[in-house]
């Protein structure tokens, strides 16, 4: 009998801090159990640069620049199930706290008028992706199938969610694992 086909999983961090990825690694030795069920496509774990067809995509961080939008769309195109993981992906999070401010004045204050920045200039290297006017949660740009809240969600929460999902159940976190902070 053929071995059960492994699920292909891609992960990325957009306007996030990699905290959710660190928390993902906090599932510790359960990572080995997970690796019997899944294999990784594009992810900081594999260093594959573009996402191919996948069963599950996990995205940390919201959308703050043009490149984030492209990556998010690439994931949506390739992943059957797309999961927003962490506060930033779900609410915009800390980066979205600039949303009520004017982007131009934010950049001016950070790079030009802050004391000690007498010779500062606003970075304009063509390699840098253009920032968006506002930071957005993922679900405002593409359809998101599931959300794992938390800043970051604990390794246990991520484990519970993924194992529920892989087992074909509606993922539930429950008291102690569902956290917004």
Partner 1 sequence: MSDTFHLDGVEVKFEHGQTVLQAALAAGKYIPHLCYHPEFKPHGSCKLCTVKIGSRTAASCTMPAETGLEIESGIEELNALRRTLVQMLFAEGNHFCPSCEKSGNCMLQALGYDLEVHTAGFRHQYPDRPLDASHPDILLDFNRCILCELCVRASGEVDGKNVFALSGRGATKHLIVNAASGQLKDTDIALGDKAMQVCPVGVILKKRIGFSIPIGERRYDQRPISAQALDDAPRKPAGAKP
Contact residues for partner 1, defined by CB under 8 A: 84, 87, 90-94, 96-97, 99-100, 134, 137, 139-140, 144, 146-149, 151, 172-176, 178-181
Largest CA distance in the chain: 70
Question: Smallest gap, in angstroms, from Cβ of residue 164 to partner 1?
Answer: 12
Question: Smallest gap, in angstroms, from Cβ of residue 39 to partner 1?
Answer: 26
Partners of 9 in the beta sheet? 40, 56
For residue 81, give the nearest of 174, 173, 22, 166 by alpha carbon: 166
Question: Smallest gap, in angstroms, from Cβ of residue 103 to partner 1?
Answer: 13
Q: Which is nearer to partner 1, 10 or 19 (CB)?
A: 19
Q: Which is nearer to partner 1, 15 or 96 (CB)?
A: 96
Q: Which is nearer to partner 1, 115 or 176 (CB)?
A: 176
What is the distance between the alpha carbons of residues 115 and 111, in angstroms, rounded to a whole number? Answer: 10
What is the distance between the alpha carbons of residues 99 and 56, in angstroms, rounded to a whole number? Answer: 30
Question: Smallest gap, in angstroms, from Cβ of residue 167 to partner 1?
Answer: 18
Q: Which is nearer to partner 1, 116 or 176 (CB)?
A: 176
74: region left, alpha or beta (phi > 0 left; psi from -120 to 50 alpha): alpha
């Amino acid at each position: 009998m053929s071995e059960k086909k492994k699920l292909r999983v891609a992960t990325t961090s957009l306007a996030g801090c990699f905290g959710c990825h660190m928390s993902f690694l906090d599932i510790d030795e359960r990572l080995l159990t997970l690796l019997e069920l899944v294999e990784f496509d594009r992810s900081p774990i594999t260093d594959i640069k573009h996402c191919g067809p996948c069963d599950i995509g996990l995205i940390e961080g919201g959308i703050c620049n043009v490149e984030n939008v492209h990556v998010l769309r690439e994931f949506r195109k390739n992943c059957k199930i797309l999961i927003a993981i962490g506060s930033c992906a779900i609410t915009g999070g800390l980066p979205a706290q600039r949303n009520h401010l004017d982007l131009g004045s934010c950049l001016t204050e950070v790079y030009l008028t802050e004391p000690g920045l007498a010779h500062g200039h606003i970075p304009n290297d063509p390699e840098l992706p253009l920032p968006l006017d506002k930071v957005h949660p993922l679900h405002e740009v593409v359809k998101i199938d599931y959300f794992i809240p938390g800043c970051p969600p604990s390794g246990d929460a991520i484990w519970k969610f993924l194992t529920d999902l892989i087992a074909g159940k509606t993922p539930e976190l429950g008291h102690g694992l569902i956290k917004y902070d």
